[in-house]
Amino acid sequence: MYGYIVVNQDELRGREMKEYRRFYCGLCHALRRRYGFAGQSSVNYDSTFLAILLTGLYDYENVKRSRRCVVHPLKAQEYLENDAIEYAADMNVVLTYLKCRDDWRDEKKSLRYLYGRLLGARGQELSQAQGDKVRAIFGAMKHFAETERAAAMRDREEAETGQDACEDRQRAKKEPRRCSPSERLDALAAGFGDVLGEVFAWKNDEWQQTLREVGFHLGKFIYLLDAWDDLERDKKSGCFNPLIAVERRRTEENTQEKLRLWVHKLLELTAADCAAAFEQLPIIDYAEILRNILYSGMWTAYYKKEERR
């Protein structure tokens, strides 16, 4: 589910690309330093976005260093160090750990389990240092997982007995109205949005609410895009995907194309919300990189899927 928040490289200037790499390398180094190899290999672009966003918002004296590393053993590469990158590294580990845990639970991927354990072991100090934040994220993730389980159950029920039958039965029993597939999709996207909102709302200050908004809408975008990306695969494997029920409901012709347009519209509205929240932040430095990602880069996976069809 991660790795969607990337840059559109073609549209970044050379100087900006170098800047981006300094953050990515900085994140990698921070992860290595705090979490060892397990942490280092979890580095991803989404956390890089967070690191740049927070650095842009808060005034930091960015310490610039150079180092050789596994990938660049001959020539030292520049990278940045600051509190925002440290925080992004911590968040990176928390989210990766949670993903591993869920993958193990849902799909029994044993390598994920091992990896999760590795991270978890190194993450003990993190739980102590950032206790409240970690707890809040875990809590939000738990709520999201519950929402997903409930939605999957409703999905199965509807698939077996048919939506209308479900609604008739519920009306006959005078039960309160249940959610439609679209509402379930919204609830799930918002659930994941809450997780990322919690991650982005770093400090208890004047920008916490706005940062939370950025994270919330970004989380919704990621969830929707992931569901869209995995739709065919999930249909084949029988994995839960909220878009399956949405598609099933559509009885008109040209369902595929209409669904695509609908998903595109949803993604666009969500991205617009995210960008609007971002534009509220007084960010000057690195704003161009961030805008590249928000207005263009994060659609990469969507257009990649379009090209494949």
Partner 1 sequence: MRDPYEVLGIPRTASDEEVKKAYRKLSRIYHPDANINNPNKEAAEERFKEIQQAYRTIINKDAAGYGQSGYGNGSFGGNPFGGFYGGMGGTYGYSRGSYGYSQDPFGAYERGAGSEKYESRDARYLQAAVNYIRNNAFAEAMNVLNSVTERDAYWHYLYGIANWGMRNRAAALEHMQEAMEMDPGNSAYRQTYEQMQGGGEFYRTNGTMYGMPTDHTGGMCCRICIANMLCNLFCPGSFCV
Residue among 128 and 174 whose Cβ is closer to partner 1: 174
- Residue 180 interacts with partner 1 (CB under 8 A)? yes
- Residue 185 interacts with partner 1 (CB under 8 A)? yes
Residue with tokens 């559509």: 250
- Reading the block at residue 186, the tokens are 């919204």
- Residues in contact with partner 1, counted by CB under 8 A, come to a total of 75
- Residue 208 interacts with partner 1 (CB under 8 A)? no
Residue among 128 and 236 whose Cβ is closer to partner 1: 236
Residue among 128 and 307 whose Cβ is closer to partner 1: 307
Q: Which of 273, 286, 289, 290 binds partner 1 (CB under 8 A)?
A: 273
Q: For residue 57, which of 271, 293, 278, 292 has the smallest C-alpha distance?
A: 278
- Residue 112 interacts with partner 1 (CB under 8 A)? yes
Considering the complex, what minimum distance in angstroms separates the CB of residue 10 from partner 1? 6
**Which of the stretches 137-145, 152-160, 174-182, 232-240 binds partner 1 when contact is defined by CB under 8 A?**
174-182
Q: For residue 85, which of 59, 47, 122 has the smallest C-alpha distance?
A: 47
Q: Which of 23, 115, 202, 286 binds partner 1 (CB under 8 A)?
A: 115
Residues of span 66-105 touching partner 1 by CB under 8 A: 70-71, 96, 99-100, 103
For residues 271 and 275, give the distance between their C-alpha atoms in angstroms, rounded to a whole number. 6
- Residue 24 interacts with partner 1 (CB under 8 A)? yes
**Which of the stretches 83-91, 130-138, 152-160, 175-183 binds partner 1 when contact is defined by CB under 8 A?**
175-183
Question: What are the percentages of helix, strand and coil residues in the chain, rounded to 5?
Answer: 75, 5, 20
Helix axes 181-200, 131-161, angle to 10 degrees: 170
Q: Residue 66, SS3?
A: strand
For residues 97 and 90, give the distance between their C-alpha atoms in angstroms, rounded to a whole number. 11
Answer whether 37's CB lies under 8 Å from 96's CB.
Answer: no
- Residue 148 interacts with partner 1 (CB under 8 A)? no
For residues 156 and 184, give the distance between their C-alpha atoms in angstroms, rounded to a whole number. 13
Q: Which of 30, 88, 211, 246 binds partner 1 (CB under 8 A)?
A: 246
Residues of span 38-57 touching partner 1 by CB under 8 A: 38, 40-46
Chain-centre distance of CA 233, in angstroms? 19
Residues written for the chain: 309
Q: Which of 34, 150, 182, 260 binds partner 1 (CB under 8 A)?
A: 182
Q: Which of 13, 33, 83, 111 binds partner 1 (CB under 8 A)?
A: 111
Helix axes 83-107, 110-122, angle to 10 degrees: 150
Considering the complex, what minimum distance in angstroms separates the CB of residue 264 from partner 1? 10
